[in-house]
A and B are shown apart, each in its own frame.
Chain A
Amino acid sequence: MMDEGELEQDLRAALRPVAAPDGLAERIISKAEARSRRPLSQNHWLRWAALAATLTIGTFGLMRWNEKRQADRIEARRVAEEFTLAMNITSRKISQLQKTLVVNIPLSFHSEGQ
């Protein structure tokens, strides 16, 4: 059976820190320098481009949405007018038909129905 302290000591030895590979620090520093030199101007440009693109897309989208809303309103008004006209025509036809029926049906038919 392995002793607790013994296992801890062995773990310390097995996991002990190691030296970083040769040249790693230099590679990191040169990458960091390259990043801080280059992306500053690129980032600046990219940020403005992203802002401009967002504004353009936003404005275009708003215009399209407004146009669509106006077109929908015109269409709704047209449909309502057509519906009113249709209802008027139907109403006129019904009253004409009613008059015709009252005139043409003999009186006997009315009394038989009662």
Chain B
Amino acid sequence: MGSLPSFSELVHRHQGMVFSIALRALGNREVAEDLTQEVFLSLHENLSSIETEDHARNWLRRTAANRSVDEIRRQKYRRGPALDQVAEPSVDAKESDPLLMAQLRESVASLPPLARMLTIMRFQQEMEPREIAAELDMPVATVKSRLHRTMKLLRGKLEKRSEVRKHQ
């Protein structure tokens, strides 16, 4: 991965990664698609400063993450539909427990923007805390503590939901 492939190759290879980050962060396919287009068009404009494919992949991931966080904040400011109320269109029949998966996605979508992005980078992109810290320009300790708090919060949310279901 020493040299830089053509722009169209980069798009074909990394569109899934950018779209997945945006979709799980924003919970809306159309908005995620628009954001993916913006990210790649921005890459096209900055292609002269990109040296290798690894560099391009990291650049795309970081830009997708930052723009998704900005978009979540904009949506909040515009008082649009709460993300946890947006229907999840990609319920996969192959999922072992579709209800649990939907609940988890809703819980993640209700997290604050940065916590949501950290969760996506950790569990979707399989990044280590130090990699996330480098990518988002944050101290490793902050990433670790935020992830720890987020996991605690998510566990609490899921347990509360299952309690409610038991009582129903």
Q: Give the residues in chain A near B23, CB-CB below 8 Å.
A: 18
- Docked complex: B128-165 residues within 8 A CB-CB of A: 151, 154-155, 158-159
Q: What mask results when residues 3 to 14 of chain A are scored 1 for a CB within 8 Å of chain B, else 0?
A: 010011011111
Interface size on A, residues (CB 8 A): 26
Q: Answer whether A16 and B104 are a contact pair too, CB < 8 Å, given A28-B40, A29-B8.
A: no
- Which of these, B20, B96, B154, contacts A17 with CB under 8 Å? B20
Of B50-58, B65-73, B74-82, B116-124, the segment with at least 4 beta carbons within 8 Å of chain A is B116-124
Give the residue among B40, B95, B105, B159 with the most A Cβ atoms within 10 A.
B40
Of A30-38, A58-66, A76-84, the segment with at least 4 beta carbons within 8 Å of chain B is A30-38
Q: Answer whether A25 and B104 are a contact pair too, CB < 8 Å, given A2-B158, A8-B123, A18-B19.
A: no
Cβ of B133 to closest chain A Cβ, rounded Å: 19
Contact A24 B100 (CB under 8 A): no
Cβ of B15 to closest chain A Cβ, rounded Å: 4
Contact A35 B24 (CB under 8 A): no
- Let me know if B114 is at the binding interface, CB within 8 A: no
A-B contact count (CB 8 A): 86
- Let me know if A99 is at the binding interface, CB within 8 A: no
Cβ of B125 to closest chain A Cβ, rounded Å: 8
Q: What mask results when residues 28 to 71 of chain B are scored 1 for a CB within 8 Å of chain A, else 0?
A: 01000100110011001000000000000000000000000000
Interface residues of B (CB under 8 A from A): 7-8, 11-12, 15-20, 23-24, 29, 33, 36-37, 40-41, 44, 90, 95-96, 100-101, 104-105, 108, 119-120, 123-124, 126, 151, 154-155, 158-159
20 A–B contacts, CB within 8 A, in A order: A1-B159, A2-B155, A2-B158, A7-B154, A10-B100, A11-B108, A12-B123, A13-B96, A14-B105, A15-B120, A18-B19, A19-B16, A21-B19, A21-B33, A24-B15, A28-B11, A28-B36, A28-B41, A31-B37, A36-B44
